[in-house]
Amino acid sequence: MNEFVETLLEMQWHEPKSSYDVVIIGGGGHGLATAYYLATKHGITNVAVIEANYIGSGNSGRNTTIIRANYGIPESVRFYQRSLELYAGLEDETGCWIMHATKGLLWMAHTETGMRAERARALINTACGAETHVVGPQEIKQICPQIDLTGSGRYPVLGASYHVGAATARHDRVVWAYAQGAMQRGVTVLQHTKVTGLLREGERVVGVETDRGPISAGVVMSAVGGNVTKIAAHAHVRLPVRTHALQAFVTNAYGLDFPGIISDSELSCYVSQTPRGQMLIGAEFEPQPSYSMQSTFNSLASCAKKISSCLPFLRELRVLRQWTGICDVSADFSPIMGFTGVDGFVISTGWGTWGFKGIPAGGQQMAELIATGTTPDLIAPFALDRFERDHSMADLGSAGTR
Amino acid sequence: MLALDTLHGIRVVASPSALDAASWPDNTTVLRLAPDDVFVIGATIEHAAVIATADADAIIVAESGFVGCWLHNDALAEVATHIEWHIPTHRPAFAQGYVAGVPAKLWLTDDRALLLCASPYAHDLSERLKGSA
Amino acid sequence: MSDTPTSAPAGRIVVDGLPIPYETGDTVAVAIMRSGGHPKHGGTVCLGGDCPNCSAIVDGVPYVRTCQTAATPGLMVRRHPAVGNPSFPAVAQPDITRTPVTDHVSVSRASADIVVIGSGPSGVAAATSASADGHSVMVLDAHDGNEVVAIYGGPTVIVRRPEGMLHVHALRVVVATGAAEIHPVCPGNNLRGIVTARAAEQLHAAGINLGNAVSIGNAPVGVPCTPITGIIVRFEGSGSVSAVVTVGDDDVEVTTPCTTAIVGLGLAPRDMLSRMSGGLPVGLVGQAAEKFALPPCPTAGTVCPCSRVEVEDLEGVWARGFHELELVKRASLCGTGTCQGGVCGPHLRAFVAHHSGAEPEMFTARPATRQITLAEASADTYTDVFRRSPLHDEHLALGGQLDRFGGWWRPWNYGNHEVEYWAVREAVSLGDVSTLGKLVVSGPDAVELLERLYPTTVADIKPGRSRYVLLLNERGHLIDDGMICRETDSRFVLTFTSGGAANAEMWVRDWAETWGLQVHILDRTMSLAAINVTGPLAATLLQRVGLVDPPKFLQHRHDTVAGVPCHVMRLSFTGEASFELHHAADRSVELWRALMEAGRDLGIKPHGLQALFGLRLEKGHVIVGMDSELDSTPRRLDMDWAVKMDKPDFLGKTALVRTASLPDHRRLFGFTMEGRAPTEGSPIWSDGNVVGHVASSFTSPLLGHAVMLGWLKHTPFPERVQIDGREASVAQPPFYDPKGRRARA
């Protein structure tokens, strides 16, 4: 047996009913976390989570498992810092092993303008509760001895911001921890059930149409990744979202000698080592919008080249597996959470490439919104109507790493 | 190291029909960068007088922003190892794309080829093609 | 297993520090087995490249399948640790003295109409028929040194060869990779001495004596061995197999002693390459396309040797509610290791079929089927190109510290930015602005195009005059800025920022085409260099080098400066009189040197970006992308003066009309503060709350205090704020020469 075989949790699947208080479309991290917090914090258990494939089969099972809060605007820093803190307590709270490990994240810079961005990031993050320092080359070398400070002669490392609280956790297990917790309390999770439309009474959404029949609901929440614009269109909600592919790859497993998380804005890539010892490497999303999940050689080649510029030892590592997810990127690179203007239909989307780190706070806040009927302060800045109100939350600087 | 030298000529942006109809002196190299855009190495502005007549708004300027070098077969074969795209087999042929990751162009004739790029890229291109001299 | 050498070996490899002889044609795995060893520590060996049981550290690279690696003189092989992962190469292996083999990897490229992968009977048949149809055909087989790694879009076939990588561009790919042998899953299957039937044939052909060999299932051809009937219950032995226990129809266990157990348990299609090629023109033929029966549901033993998953682990996660192939895989990690399900796939499917009652499809295959290093993946791949201005070497000679900015190398300073600052404010200075975007637009619809693109009026700009302009997107957000210079009624030169030039060019071309307007567009960004001559003595300097009557503020004209034809544009970003000299890139060094020489007694110095950023900040000039954000409207930047809302239409107008009626809740303000400038990005505080941040800051040598541009994002906007623990106040820029007399002087 390897040490990572799941031996703690247990899934309790329930038979579907024809009606629920809340129906959540999308059995990924955000959907299941919302169901979990509805059940645990608000006593709302007559809830169904509907998943087109198996739970965690979308981006929740395809991301690079990085948890961080070092965003570019105060509203985002506060939100992700809440998420980071909830993650840190999730194992105790659920009794599950999500392989959470606080590692720290170095975000490296190679130019004066790059350093300017990292200095700014450190200041605004620390001011908003996410401890981040500027560190010089020597400190970087102490934190991560494998770094070539000359950047293979082309990308000399001038410094970095060091986000102390950044962590990683096993993506599947986060999904399962929330699924188990929700199902234990009576939430129904329906796998392999496709939502084909929304049930409506007038403008109000009153349930979902599925390939296994209609299901009525007091509130319908979309926690869909990748195809959210199509679901929202059933409610006549237009979303400022474009879908882009994001690729990543892992190497074979090696001894656990790589500390922390290394990220790089100029080179647009990042790496960490999984608990199994694999090096998990990702890049920025593809510039061209697409729903394709076909991996490309160009992405592998260029990402491999970039990441080994500052970590030359990676050149000798063998690529195990490359994969692709599709990301809903909003017009301002920030998530969209909350009411949609259509009664009975709420939404959590626009997670782009940073959805995994937002799962606990996103679920917690959406559950509160559904339970109380009012938008919690923490996510009020991320409401859909911000675009109409000209209150967009532009945060491109934080999209450089995932 | 590839010695990339400045290529002197003219750049003409004009209606495709005006460019199609133009004729150029024998000792020039005519690179059609786009349907409406031609770089004529070895030509001077006077050579484009016909185009100026055919298209009054044509942009006709002296061009010295490209560098290049002529490659014979062996050197071209070496450069070709840094090209992921299909190199045309007919001659003469003009092709544009990344060479060793640098935006570049190739003018292929029967016995040799001109490799060229915008001058700001010259350093990185020749550096990356070190073995191709 | 051992043999008696009959002649001198072909060479020696080094395995775990000991030299081991090999024969001509041996792979590393065969050489190790010839010497009586096991390339790993145990487990069934297939020698077909399908399993992880022969992978080792070869020349410092872990996870190399030694059955696919030819033995060559002096090859350094180390076995993976029996427990745990191999260390990182180089980090934990200081004994490696040889240069890593992957240090430089060459790439060759080829193209063919049809690429056939596998040269077995079905591959040969496919190749023959494709050739007969007149197609160009390329056959790739691992045995010929062409290890196919993956198929990507195109289709592009990525191949690893001993001499480097091969990228083959095909119209169609035929996968004829045959079938892999099923590994035994039962107790004792991690022992040494278990080989598949094909492996036994290979070892026998290599002249290796398999000792007391027994075979279960399909017997190998021509290999001396004792066939035994029945189903394998377990292998027995300590380290190496000493007996195989089988059971027949009579349910009686029979123990057969042996030193080699040969297993012929059937086949599974080797179809991973086709399963990773969804949507691509990739066909599957021969055994790779066959549907073989699944093995029986495993009941004990190691299912997944890569991730060390036992049958009881699968049963454990099934009992916990993981009720489908993907979930079982993710909860146990079965199939997520080096061979990507090559060994465990059929057994895992059999397990799920047995428990769920339905035979599941194999999980999605992902690149790569055969593993390559990052060096091999990125061979002949390059990171960004950094552009160099023609003055690059001049800057270096003058002590310039070059930094990358907007894709260009640019001088950050020449040692002391304050010295450069004073040269601009008090004398004359040169700045290299070759990196600015420069677009020529010409045609009967040129005015119409620019009127629609820009929020300013264009038609009233006279030839010879220029105007500062914002470039907005449809949302009314600032995407770039620059100058419009009108040359004739129908011809303009547009300038853009260095970092924004490439996007701006696409933007202008896209809209011209979208609107169907008759214009010609030529991008001269990289063809023309530009030098900014700035400072109170700028005009004096230019007069010295032949520009007798320098243009007035916001005028431009073509003239000759120091013998070099220039497009001279008078403007000002530094706050002093400034002349941009746009000229042919190949004349730039000549012009720069002439100006530096002529200005020597005037105190001329070049200035870098660091000084420039401070100079312009004293004037309150915004830098797009530094001070502006993704969603900055002109109102937020306090630049409504650059927008003519009474124009009939321009890009972004609809959005600006709408947002103008909404409350203004964020704005870029000027600030001043005693003392030195705070770090750019510093939070701006008011009543203990973060209310914004500093976008740009500069300790003004002339004013003796800090000047800043910063965002306030909470209304009502406070007048007094705290930055860096100090009191700061909102102040209306420009902080220097508010009437702009110096720029016009």
C625-641 per-position pLDDT tens digit = 999 999 999 999 999 99
Q: Does any CB of chain C come closer than 8 Å to the CB of residue B81? A: yes
The CATH class that applies to domain C391-435+527-631 reads alpha beta
- With bands split at pLDDT 50, 70 and 90, how would you rate the model's confidence at C362? confident
| Separation CA C694–CA C697 (nearest Å) | 7
| Separation CA A327–CA A325 (nearest Å) | 7
Domain-terminating residue out of A308, A330, A352: A330
CB nearest to A5's CB, from C86, C313, C633: C313
Output the DSSP codes for C20-75. Answer: EEE-TT-BHHHHHHHTT--SSSSS-B-SSS-SSTTEEEETTEEEEEGGGSB--TT-
User: In whole numbers, what is the pLDDT of chain A averaged over residues?
Assistant: 95
Asked whether residue A247 falls in the same domain as residue A389, the answer is: no
Which pLDDT score, from 0 to 100, does residue C4 have? 52
At A233, list the tokens: 């269109």
Stated length of chain C:
745
Collapsed DSSP state (helix, strand, coil) of residue B80: helix
Q: Which residues between 158 and 177 in chain A have a beta carbon less than 8 angstroms from any beta carbon of chain C?
A: 172, 176
> Does the pLDDT at position C568 exceed 50?
yes
Collapsed DSSP state (helix, strand, coil) of residue C274: helix
Show residues of chain C in contact with B80, CB under 8 Å. Answer: 109
Are A176 and C373 within 8 A, CB to CB? no
Of C53, C86, C63, C66, nearest to C13 (Cα)?
C66
Asked whether residue A355 falls in the same domain as residue A210, the answer is: yes
Q: Give the structural domain span for A233.
A: 19-63+171-240+331-400
Which pLDDT score, from 0 to 100, does residue A343 have? 98
CB nearest to C442's CB, from B59, B102, B120: B59
The residue among B5, B7, B64, B128 with the most chain C CBs within 10 A of its CB, best to mutate, is: B64
Q: Does any CB of chain B come closer than 8 Å to the CB of residue C136? A: no
Show residues of chain C in contact with A277, CB under 8 Å. Answer: 85
Domain-terminating residue out of A314, A330, A346: A330
The residue among C527, C564, C589, C591 with the most chain B CBs within 10 A of its CB, best to mutate, is: C527
Show residues of chain C in contact with B68, CB under 8 Å. Answer: none
| Separation CA C722–CA C737 (nearest Å) | 26
The residue among C167, C317, C378 with the most chain A CBs within 10 A of its CB, best to mutate, is: C378
> Does the pLDDT at position A397 exceed 80?
no
Which pLDDT score, from 0 to 100, does residue A402 have? 38
Show residues of chain B in contact with C388, CB under 8 Å. Answer: 120, 122-123
- With bands split at pLDDT 50, 70 and 90, how would you rate the model's confidence at B132? low
Asked whether residue A293 falls in the same domain as residue A342, the answer is: no
The pLDDT tens digits for C16-50 are: 999 999 999 999 999 999 999 999 999 999 999 99
At C18, list the tokens: 């000991």
Phi, psi of C578 (to 5 degrees): -135, 140
Domain-terminating residue out of A330, A348, A382: A330
| Separation CA C54–CA C64 (nearest Å) | 8
Tell me whether residue C485 is exposed, middle or buried, using C-beta atoms within 10 angstroms of its C-beta: 0 to 12, 13 to 18, 19 or more: buried
CB C113 within 8 A of CB C102: no
Phi, psi of C199 (to 5 degrees): -65, -40
Higher model confidence: residue A15 or residue C5? Answer: A15
Q: Which residues between 14 and 53 in chain C have a beta carbon less than 8 angstroms from any beta carbon of chain B?
A: none
CATH number of C1-101: 3.10.20.440
**DSSP E strands: which ranges in C595-655?**
605-606
Of C261, C283, C256, C111, nearest to C199 (Cα)?
C261
The pLDDT tens digits for A21-49 are: 999 999 999 999 999 999 999 999 999 99
Q: What is the mean pLDDT of residues B77-84?
A: 91
| Separation CA C230–CA C217 (nearest Å) | 8
Show residues of chain B in contact with C529, CB under 8 Å. Answer: none
Q: Which residues between 39 and 58 in chain B have a beta carbon less than 8 angstroms from any beta carbon of chain C?
A: 57-58
Cβ within 8 Å of residue C190, ≥6 positions away: C42, C43, C302, C305
Per CATH, domain C183-265 is 3.50.50.60: yes
Which one is the CATH code of C296-358: 3.40.50.720, 1.10.10.1100, 1.10.8.60, 3.40.50.1970?
1.10.10.1100
Are B57 and C383 within 8 A, CB to CB? no
Q: Does any CB of chain B come closer than 8 Å to the CB of residue C526? A: yes
Output the DSSP codes for A60-71. Answer: GGTS--EE----
Which pLDDT score, from 0 to 100, does residue C90 have? 65
> Does the pLDDT at position B32 exceed 70?
yes
Q: CA quadruple C108, C111, C117, C121: dihedral positive or negative?
A: negative
Which pLDDT score, from 0 to 100, does residue A30 have? 98
Question: Quick one: closest CA in C to B10, which residue?
Answer: C527
CATH (domain of A373): 3.50.50.60
> Does the pLDDT at position C118 exceed 90?
yes
> Does the pLDDT at position C5 exceed 60?
no
Are C526 and B120 within 8 A, CB to CB? yes
Asked whether residue A234 falls in the same domain as residue A249, the answer is: no
DSSP A147: -
Per CATH, domain C663-745 is 2.40.30.110: yes
DSSP C601: G
Of C173, C43, C158, nearest to C105 (Cα)?
C158
Whole-angstrom distance between the N-terminal and C-terminal Cα of chain B?
A: 5
The residue among A302, A318, A334 with the most chain C CBs within 10 A of its CB, best to mutate, is: A318
Q: What is the mean pLDDT of residues C369-391?
A: 94
Stated length of chain B:
133
Q: What is the mean pLDDT of residues A49-60?
A: 96
Show residues of chain C in contact with B65, CB under 8 Å. Answer: 524, 526-528, 584-585
Place of tokens 């021509």: C222
The residue among C104, C106, C109 with the most chain B CBs within 10 A of its CB, best to mutate, is: C109
In a domain, A30, yes or no: yes
Are C679 and A276 within 8 A, CB to CB? no
DSSP A276: T
Question: Quick one: closest CA in A to C655, which residue?
Answer: A390
Asked whether residue A107 falls in the same domain as residue A218, the answer is: no
Strand partners, C83: none
CB C423 within 8 A of CB C429: yes
Q: Which residues between 87 and 116 in chain B have a beta carbon less than 8 angstroms from any beta carbon of chain C?
A: 100-103
In a domain, A257, yes or no: yes
CB nearest to C88's CB, from A257, A296, A396: A257
CB C492 within 8 A of CB C499: no
User: Does the complex come out with an ipTM higher than 0.90?
Assistant: yes
In a domain, A80, yes or no: no
CB C403 within 8 A of CB C410: yes
Identify residue C738 by its one-letter amino acid code.
P
CB C210 within 8 A of CB C60: no
Show residues of chain A in contact with C408, CB under 8 Å. Answer: none
Q: How far A206 CA lies from chain C's nearest CA (Å)?
A: 31
The pLDDT tens digits for C288-329 are: 999 999 999 999 999 999 999 999 999 999 999 999 999 999
The residue among C520, C525, C567 with the most chain B CBs within 10 A of its CB, best to mutate, is: C520
CB C744 within 8 A of CB C629: no
The pLDDT tens digits for C447-501 are: 999 999 999 999 999 999 999 999 999 999 999 999 999 999 999 999 999 999 9
Q: Does any CB of chain C come closer than 8 Å to the CB of residue B61? A: yes
- With bands split at pLDDT 50, 70 and 90, how would you rate the model's confidence at C7? low
In a domain, A156, yes or no: yes
CATH (domain of A124): 3.30.9.10
**DSSP E strands: which ranges in A95-153?**
101-102, 105-109, 132-135
Which pLDDT score, from 0 to 100, does residue B2 have? 82
> Does the pLDDT at position C607 exceed 80?
yes
Q: Which residues between 664 and 703 in chain C have a beta carbon less than 8 angstroms from any beta carbon of chain B?
A: none
**DSSP E strands: which ranges in chain B?**
5-13, 29-34, 37-41, 59-71, 93-99, 102-108, 113-118
The pLDDT tens digits for C218-252 are: 999 999 999 999 999 999 999 999 999 999 999 99
Across A100-122, b (16+ Cβ under 10 Å) vs e yields bbebbbbbbbbbbbbbbbbbbbb
Which pLDDT score, from 0 to 100, does residue A400 have? 45
Are B119 and C586 within 8 A, CB to CB? yes
In a domain, A142, yes or no: yes
Asked whether residue A118 falls in the same domain as residue A210, the answer is: no
Which pLDDT score, from 0 to 100, does residue C204 have? 97
In a domain, A9, yes or no: no
Q: Which of A155-159, A225-229, A302-306, A344-348 has the lowest mean pLDDT?
A: A225-229
Show residues of chain C in contact with B83, CB under 8 Å. Answer: 109
Q: What is the mean pLDDT of residues C432-446?
A: 98
Of C277, C327, C31, nearest to C148 (Cα)?
C277
Cβ within 8 Å of residue C601, ≥6 positions away: none
Which pLDDT score, from 0 to 100, does residue A395 have? 84
In a domain, A116, yes or no: yes
Are B120 and C388 within 8 A, CB to CB? yes
CB nearest to B84's CB, from C167, C389, C524: C167
Asked whether residue A260 falls in the same domain as residue A325, the answer is: yes
Are C440 and B11 within 8 A, CB to CB? no
| Separation CA A264–CA C400 (nearest Å) | 26
Show residues of chain C in contact with B128, CB under 8 Å. Answer: 382
Asked whether residue A195 falls in the same domain as residue A340, the answer is: yes
User: In whole numbers, what is the pLDDT of chain C averaged over residues?
Assistant: 95
| Separation CA A234–CA A290 (nearest Å) | 21
Are C522 and B6 within 8 A, CB to CB? no
In a domain, A349, yes or no: yes
Are C383 and A154 within 8 A, CB to CB? yes
> Does the pLDDT at position B133 exceed 80?
no
Q: How far B64 CA lies from chain C's nearest CA (Å)?
A: 6
Q: Which residues between 12 and 31 in chain A have a beta carbon less than 8 angstroms from any beta carbon of chain C?
A: 12-13
Total number of domains constituting chain A: 2
Are B11 and C522 within 8 A, CB to CB? yes
Those chains having 3 or more beta-carbon pairs within 8 angstroms of chain A are: C
Place of tokens 């600052």: C421
Domain boundaries, chain C: 1-101, 183-265, 296-358, 391-435+527-631, 436-524, 663-745
Asked whether residue A207 falls in the same domain as residue A115, the answer is: no
Which pLDDT score, from 0 to 100, does residue B1 have? 63
Q: How far B124 CA lies from chain C's nearest CA (Å)?
A: 7
CB A99 within 8 A of CB A173: yes
CATH number of C436-524: 3.30.70.1400
| Separation CA C708–CA C676 (nearest Å) | 11
Phi, psi of A316 (to 5 degrees): -90, -5
Strand partners, C707: C672, C698
Q: Does any CB of chain C come closer than 8 Å to the CB of residue A10? A: yes
CB nearest to C366's CB, from A11, A254, A321: A321
Q: What percent of chain A has pLDDT over 90?
A: 92
Q: How far B132 CA lies from chain C's nearest CA (Å)?
A: 13
> Does the pLDDT at position C96 exceed 70?
no
